[in-house]
Amino acid sequence: MKFLRNLLATIVGLFVFTFIMFFLLIIIASSGSEEKLVELKEKTVLHLKLNKQILEREVEDPFEGLPIFAGMQEGGIGLMELKDALKHAADDPKIAGIFLETPVMMAGISSIDEIRASLDEFKKSGKFIYSYAEMYTEGAYYLASVSDKVYMNPDFAMLEFNGLNIETIHFKGLFDKLEIEPVTISVGDYKGADEPFVRKNMSEEVKGRFTGLLTRIHGNILKNVADSRSLAFDDVKNISDSSLVNLEQDAVTYGLVDQLAYRDEVLDLLAEKVGVESAKDLVFVGYEKYRKSFSTSNTSKNKIAVIMATGTIVPGKGDNQSVGSVKFAKEIRTAADESSIKAIVIRINTPGGGALASDVLWRELKLASEKKPVIASMSDQATSGGYYLAMACDTILAQKNTITGSVGLFAMLFNLKDFLGNKLGITTDHVSTGLFADMYNMTEPLSEYELNYLKKSTKHGYESFVAKAADGRGMTPAQFEPLAAGRLWSGDEALENGMVDAIGNLEDAIAIAASVAGVADDYRIRVYPVQKAPFDEIIEILSGTSEEEAIAKRLGNLEPFLKSVKTLQELKGVQARSLVEVKF
C-alpha cells in the first residue's frame, strides 16, 4: 500500500511539473514574439485607474495573458511608463480625453507631483480630464484636483483634506518591559533615527524640524490645489487646517469639487463632452492596454544610463526592494565603462541605510564622474545614505516636495543580558584573548571605554560624511555643518541652502545629462538594473521571494509595524539612515 501511495505521489508530481513546464515554455516562446500594436477607435477616452502602487519603473508581469496564473504577481504602475503614456496621449488623435477614477493613491508625494505635472501638461493639448470617485483620500484628491472637472458621489462619500502628518513608532516601552537595553550612538541633534529605540516620544529638536518640513511641503501642495481650482491660497489653507469638508456638499461649497453625481450621471456628462449620443457609446481604453497601442523604440547608438536606486541601502547584493552595494557598484561600473553610454543619471528614492554600503556606492559614482557626466535625480526621498549617493554627482536635481538631507550617522547595539537571564532563564559565560574581544556581543553592558570607542568611530564617520558633502557642494565643512546634524529638508529648501542645484524631475535630469554629454538630440534611455528574463522572474515568483509583499498586504494597517520590526533587523553597523515617512 505504501509503495502504491509513493508511486501515485510521484506520478502526480511529474504531471504537475510537466504541466508547469508546458506553460513556462509557452510564456518564454511568446515573450520572444513581436506583439501587434493595439488599434484604437476614434474618440477613445483614456481610463486611468491608478489602483496599484506607483513604482519608479514598471515590472513586466511574466504571467500576463494567462488566466491560470492570474494574481500570482500584483506588480505596480511604473512612473516612467505612465508619464510616457500621458505624453503620447496628448498628441494621439484617437484619444479624446482622460477619465481619472482613482480614489486612493499608493505613491509618495513627489511621485504624485510628477504624475500631476504630466496631467497638467496633457491639458495643454486642449483635451479634457474628468475625475470621479466615491471617495478621495488626501493624496488621491491632490492628484484629481488638476482635472478640469472633479465629481464625487452625492451620498456617503468622503473627501479627506486635512493635512499631512509624521508618526513615529517608539519601542522604548517594549524594551523596558522586556529588560532590553538599546545602546545608541548618534551624531547630530536632529538625526532622530535612534529616538524610537531610546525615547517614548520625539525630542524637541526633531519635532521642530519635522514641523518645519511638513509646513513647507504642505504649503507647496495647497498652492498647487489653489492654482488648479482657481481658489485663494489662504482659503484653501483654512479649509485644510480647520477640516471644513465634513459633508459631501461642503466639498462643493468650498470649491474643491465641481459637482456631486453618481457614476452613471458622470458618464452621461462625459458622453456629452466627447460628443457621442449616450454613455453606452463611450469607448474606454485602460492604461495597461493603451501602453500597447504605441511603440517607444529608439535605435540611437548613444545611451543615457538611468540607474534606479530604490529601497534601503544594504551591503552585498540586496534584493528587489533594496540597493545592494555589490550589485549597484557593478551596475555603476558597467555604465561608466561602456562606450555607448554617454552619461549616467542615478534616480534616488531611498531613506539610506548602511554607512559603509553608502560609501562604497559614493566612491563608484565619484569614479564614474571622472569618465562621463553623472546626474542625480531625487524622487520622493533621498535622505542620509540617499544624499550620500547624490553628493558624488556633478549635478543634483530634487523636486519641491522631495525629502532630503539627514546628514548624520548613528550606531546601535542591544544588551540582552537581563532579558535572557530574568525573562528566559538563559545565562552566558565566555573567555577571550583580550579585554575587548567581546565588545560586540549582546550579553554584557558596554564599558565606558567601549562606549567611547564606538562614539569615536561614529564621530569620525560623521566628519567624513560632512567633509565629502561639503566638498561636493563647494563648501568647507564648517559652512556645511549648519545644514547637517541630521536635519531634514524639502527639495525647495535644499535648493535655497545650496544642497541641490536645481528643481526638476527625472526627465529634466536626463535632458541635462544628454546636453552635457553632447547628445541632446540623439540618444535613448537604458534603465539599470536590467530586468530579469521572464523565465527567471517566474522561478523567483514560484520560489516565494514575494512573500514579504504578500504578508504586508494581509496585515493592512499593521504593515508599518512590520516595517519597523524589519528595520530593527537591518540596524547592523553604523547607519546613514532616516526613518521619516510623511503620510497623507
Return d(Cα 341, Cα 83) in angstroms, integer. 23
C-alpha cell belonging to residue 253:
461649497
Give the CA distances from residue 425 to residues 414, 441, 443, in Å, rounded to whole numbers and listed in that order. Answer: 18, 18, 13
384 part of the active site: yes
C-alpha cell belonging to residue 535:
523565465
Return d(Cα 197, Cα 193) in angstroms, integer. 9
Q: Which of 579, 580, 582, 577 is nearest to 187 (CA)?
A: 577
Return d(Cα 572, Cα 485) in angstroms, integer. 21
Classified as helix, coil or strand, 306 is strand
- Choosing from 131, 186, 384, 546, the catalytic residue is 384
Alpha-carbon radius of gyration of the chain: 26
Residues 6+ apart with CB under 8 A from 132: 99, 100, 101, 150, 151, 152, 261, 263, 266
In angstroms, the first-to-last Cα distance of the chain is 62
Checking DSSP bridges between strand 77-78 and strand 149-152, what pairing results, if any? unpaired
* Dihedral pair phi/psi, residue 336, rounded to 5°: -70, -35
Where does 146-294 have alpha helices with state H?
172-178, 195-198, 204-229, 233-241, 248-253, 263-274, 287-290
Q: Which residues are catalytic?
A: 384
